[in-house]
Structure 1
Amino acid sequence: MNKETIKLDITGMTCDHCATGIEKLLSKNEGVTEAKVNYPKASCECSYDPSKTSKEEIINTINGMKNYRVKGEISETGSCNNNHFDLIIIGGGSAAFSAAIKAESLGLSTLMVNGGLDFGGTCVNVGCVPSKNLIRAGENAYHATHSNFAGIKPKGVDIDFPQVIKDKKKLVAVLQEKKYMDVVSDFINLKMITGWAEFKDNKTIVVDNKTEYTALKFIIATGATTNIPSIEGLNEIGYLTNVSLFDLEEKLESITIMGAGYIGLEIAMAYNRLGVKVRIIEFTDRVLRKQTPDISEVLETQMRKEGIELLPNFRAVKFEKKGSETIIHCKCPDGSFTQITEKGRIVVASGTKPNTQRLGLQNIGIELNKTGHVLVNEKMETNLPNIYAVGDVANTPAFVYTAAFEGKIAVENSFSGAENKADYTSLPWVVFTDPQIAGAGLDEVQAEAKGIPFEISKLELKDVPRAIAANDTRGFIKLIRNTETDKLIGARVVAPEGGELIQLLSMSIKHGITVKDLADSFYPYLTLGEGIKLAAITFGKDVSKLSCCAS
């Protein structure tokens, strides 16, 4: 092995810890064999293999840190006038923008390469923003025709469906501009291009098969897309996904949704309430199959009450067009076969798959798991030291807020010597059906699988004064505690606006709050939050025998 040694003078160090941080960062470069940084002498002696790295790359690594600079050397940091960058981000969603914002604060020259969806990615364009907007529109329509009070008799609603979709499109455009493009519009170190990036090697990408770009570090943030099942005839019937459905201004007579996960259920409730006849085909025995059966039961009861047709344990085996109709050939729960006619459109909501197919990962040996997600550790590192992966493309929880967090720490870990980790022990999440489904931490099945001694408290909303007064007692609050420590380790909430409760429970799990602490705290009377107190009390008492506000 050839070895060369360089000596550099470094400005900006204030203590020995600074020197250690620079050493750690340099050691992540596979070509660096030894790095010794001396704080009192403000110097660095670095040995490296010139076939794997270069003097310029080492200097750029140091200059890429926020507070340090190599004295007398000119770095490419901050320059976007050529095809070499400190950082290349592949993708243009929330994780990518979060990474770009952090990179700009560190003064890193950054290239963002985005293909597929517009800049902003899934959340703002075809996911969170449009779906929640349509869900709220559907709720308005529903409450104009349904009342929980005998003395209130709604007179109906006039739905201008094309206008609802046009308003949704306008909202998406405004937020895509304000929350993404405007945020980075004045960045002096960021270059953004549209195209498909493919790795040539672990230091080079080729965009649209013509232009090469190199970088010290890479972040893969390409997200995920709908997983289209391999079913005979499906590709010939003109199916929809959330991407195409949300932009369709024509009000369909009916839709059949393939899949009863959170995406399919949110679509079902929104469109059903906006006047579209909805059917759901689910190949397992219930909706939200990853949650416990009691959660599925509450949601199925409400959906059937609203007229949504649920077909659990039905498996589609073939699709065919007959005129304007689609025939769905299904295997029934008893093993027989039947044909279902859909006069409207088929919507595929059968989960997602990571966008890794066009990245050329086979050229660099990036490790994937069995579902095709990029394998990363808690620091978002892949098996290659200069390549990170974040967001839905990685084997981490698929939420916009986790993606943004991962993009930030990936840049910090790769360029500032930080050792930030993602800890999702208390991660809160919400499914925006009605009632909403919210959770944090473990449920009872997960606690048992981990061998944790646990106990469950389950409080029906019929015992919560706020729900009683509102004449809406659908759902429950379920707490899971460690019986040895009394600490809260998990929570599930099924309730109208139940998502508004989950952050308190998430923070309780994160900070080791005990069930006794929850029971002994003050909660405003006639709030849904008081249900947390009552659920905590339920571990030791029958709350139905307590007076209002009693503890």
Structure 2
Amino acid sequence: MEKYDLVVIGAGPSGYAAAMRALDFRKKTLLIEKNLVGGAGVTNGALSSKTWWELSRETASFRKNLKRFNLEVPSINYKEIQAEVQRAVHERTSMLEEHMELMKDSQYSELLSFKQGTARLITQNEIEIESSDMTKEVVWADYVILATGSRPRYLPELPIDEKIVMTSEGIEAMEDFPESMVIVGAGVIGCEYATIFSGFGKTKVHLIDKGDRILPFEDEDIVRVIERNMENSGVLIHRNSKLIRMEIKHERVEYELEYDDGSKAVFNVEKALVAVGRIPNYENLWDEGVDISISKRGIEDNDTQTNVSNIYAVGDITADISLVNVGELEGRYAVEKIFGSPDHRLVYENISTIMFLNPEVAGVGFNETQAREKGIDYKVVTLDYSCIPRAIAKRNTQGFIKLLVTNDEQMKILGLKIIGNHASSAIQAVALLIWMNKGIEELAECVHPHPSITEGIQECVRMLLGKSLFKPDALRGRLSCRTSMRGVYADIKF
């Protein structure tokens, strides 16, 4: 029986990161993957969907600016766009595979092994691997990291066939833009796909929302911008509605909604996308004797360690945040905890996020909705993109920056939310200060490149310190500076 210091099951973002970090500790490591290296984070998740988004955004921008060139709207080649997405996925998976192949001729050649197959824990140290030709072998591991990821959630009452009624796994195989599509689920995934398909201008998108607004976890002022842009792009948002029936009829989708007022309506579209979250892949991953604790959300872990002392869990398989960057962080941290001594526990308060909408939305820390739910008193400052030279130069001033700090003299940063162009490029300094538990004065003294979106963050800080270039009283509607005490707002007077 082959013995390893560490066996990592799953070669998605978290598992791959864990295996590579183990090599830094000079540990004999086995990485196992049953499908493609890179996992859903590359093949039918973050990378592929964001490539679709980038191409959709470029298409929408091109259509918007056609008048400058006296051009008619050109036709869009679906096959070419689909091929471009596939090329992006291939580039990433090929690089990961090439990297592992080249490791065979490096200083890590005796440390890293890779096996293709399905893994199952038969004891807490023994892993059975079944290859595609049905042959089996058992290996020994001092430590095990489970990183098998997640898959789209199926609703049993819906006729999901991955051809007409699809999840994010089936949508990659479509042969052309559908003339119409209904999306079940108005969370991040559903709204991103609504943005993608409406952006190409070839599909009438319907979006089912059981509440009175999409993205219920997000601040209302941000949702208003996203909803307005969606509807301007032709998206029909079914608010306050419940899906009571969906059927495939004559190779199309018929669905019926019931609204909060009791009325009902029937709609007919070409395709349906079910985007109601993802569920962890832990079925048949271990025998009963291993007895790893799980909850409805995934494997329960304590700082990446499960209740079985030598088994760790990272990425989407856990009950923590399901993001690629979080999975990679957890994978690296788990290895450091096993073979080293981390300087601190894993923290999630400074995790940066981005929603690929129109426009993009990036954030770190608390938003206002979360701060209110937790009963936190805070100060909040908002600055419109029309006050930022870089946004003006890009001829797109839609968006704003919102900064939350504690409602005291220290004004420690609670969170930052940006909606608009370059949003994701502007939040890292704030993420670092949240991790350091620092206040805002460090941001006020930074010399930012000009023109840049980050200058807007600096102006927000200066407003809180009472020394801004633009004064909120003079530019009402573009700037605001308020306190929230026990849920009651008041303007800050300087």
Aligned equivalent of 2:257? 330
Q: Helix, strand or coil for the counterpart of 1:243?
A: coil
Aligned equivalent of 1:241? 167
Q: Helix, strand or coil for the counterpart of 2:208?
A: strand
Aligned equivalent of 2:284? 358
Aligned equivalent of 2:221? 294
Assess if the C-alpha contact under 8 Å between 2:405 and 2:412 holds in 1: yes
1:430-449 paired onto structure 2 within 5 Å: 430-449=354-373
Aligned equivalent of 1:498? 423
Aligned equivalent of 2:18? 99
| Cα deviation 1:350-395 (Å, max 9, x = unaligned) | 1111111221364422122332x111222x1111110000111112
Tell me the distance in 2 between the aligned counterparts of 1:513 and 1:412: 26
Q: Helix, strand or coil for the counterpart of 1:206?
A: strand
Tell me the distance in 2 between the aligned counterparts of 1:144 and 1:415: 52
Tell me the distance in 1 between the aligned counterparts of 2:196 and 2:395: 22
The CA deviation at 1:416 is 3.4
Question: What runs of 5+ residues in structure 2 fail to find an aligned partner?
Answer: 476-493
Aligned equivalent of 1:349? 275
Are residues 1:266 and 2:192 paired? yes
Q: Helix, strand or coil for the counterpart of 2:89?
A: helix
Residues 527 and 222 of structure 1: CA distance in aligned 2, closer, same or farther (over 3 Å): same
Aligned equivalent of 1:507? 432
Tell me the distance in 1 between the aligned counterparts of 2:144 and 2:397: 50
Tell me the distance in 2 between the aligned counterparts of 1:462 and 1:417: 47
Assess if the C-alpha contact under 8 Å between 1:457 and 1:535 holds in 2: yes
The CA deviation at 1:328 is 0.9
The CA deviation at 1:105 is 3.0
Aligned equivalent of 2:486? none
2:307 maps to a residue whose letter is N
Aligned equivalent of 1:400? 324
1:414 pairs, out of 331, 334, 338, with 338
| Cα deviation 1:23-47 (Å, max 9, x = unaligned) | xxxxxxxxxxxxxxxxxxxxxxxxx
| Cα deviation 1:285-329 (Å, max 9, x = unaligned) | 322222122221110011111111211222222221221221112
Residues 300 and 143 of structure 1: CA distance in aligned 2, closer, same or farther (over 3 Å): same
Tell me the distance in 2 between the aligned counterparts of 1:385 and 1:350: 33
Tell me the distance in 1 between the aligned counterparts of 2:386 and 2:172: 36
1:207 pairs, out of 90, 107, 129, with 129
The CA deviation at 1:509 is 2.0
1:138-153 paired onto structure 2 within 5 Å: 138-147=56-65
Which stretch shows the higher mean deviation, 150-159 or 270-279? 150-159
Q: Helix, strand or coil for the counterpart of 2:348?
A: coil
Q: Helix, strand or coil for the counterpart of 2:228?
A: helix
Aligned equivalent of 2:120? 198
* Count of residues paired in the alignment: 461
Q: Helix, strand or coil for the counterpart of 1:246?
A: helix
Assess if the C-alpha contact under 8 Å between 2:207 and 2:236 holds in 1: yes
Are residues 1:467 and 2:414 paired? no
Aligned equivalent of 1:284? 211
- Structure 1 length normalisation: TM-score? 0.78
Aligned equivalent of 1:83? 2
Assess if the C-alpha contact under 8 Å between 2:382 and 2:402 holds in 1: yes
Aligned equivalent of 1:523? 448
The CA deviation at 1:96 is 1.1
Tell me the distance in 2 between the aligned counterparts of 1:435 and 1:273: 11
2:191 maps to a residue whose letter is L
Are residues 1:480 and 2:391 paired? no
Which stretch shows the higher mean deviation, 230-239 or 299-308? 230-239
Are residues 1:177 and 2:101 paired? no
Are residues 1:389 and 2:313 paired? yes
1:499 maps to a residue whose letter is S
Residues 516 and 199 of structure 1: CA distance in aligned 2, closer, same or farther (over 3 Å): same
Tell me the distance in 1 between the aligned counterparts of 2:80 and 2:163: 27
Tell me the distance in 1 between the aligned counterparts of 2:215 and 2:70: 33
Are residues 1:311 and 2:238 paired? yes
Aligned CA-pair RMSD: 2.6
The CA deviation at 1:481 is 0.5
Assess if the C-alpha contact under 8 Å between 2:162 and 2:169 holds in 1: no
Residues 469 and 168 of structure 1: CA distance in aligned 2, closer, same or farther (over 3 Å): closer
Are residues 1:253 and 2:144 paired? no
Tell me the distance in 2 between the aligned counterparts of 1:236 and 1:113: 27
Are residues 1:168 and 2:92 paired? no
Aligned equivalent of 2:53? 135
The CA deviation at 1:163 is 0.9
Aligned equivalent of 1:224? 150
Q: Helix, strand or coil for the counterpart of 1:144?
A: helix
Assess if the C-alpha contact under 8 Å between 1:458 and 1:479 holds in 2: yes
Tell me the distance in 1 between the aligned counterparts of 2:91 and 2:42: 10
Tell me the distance in 1 between the aligned counterparts of 2:162 and 2:96: 38
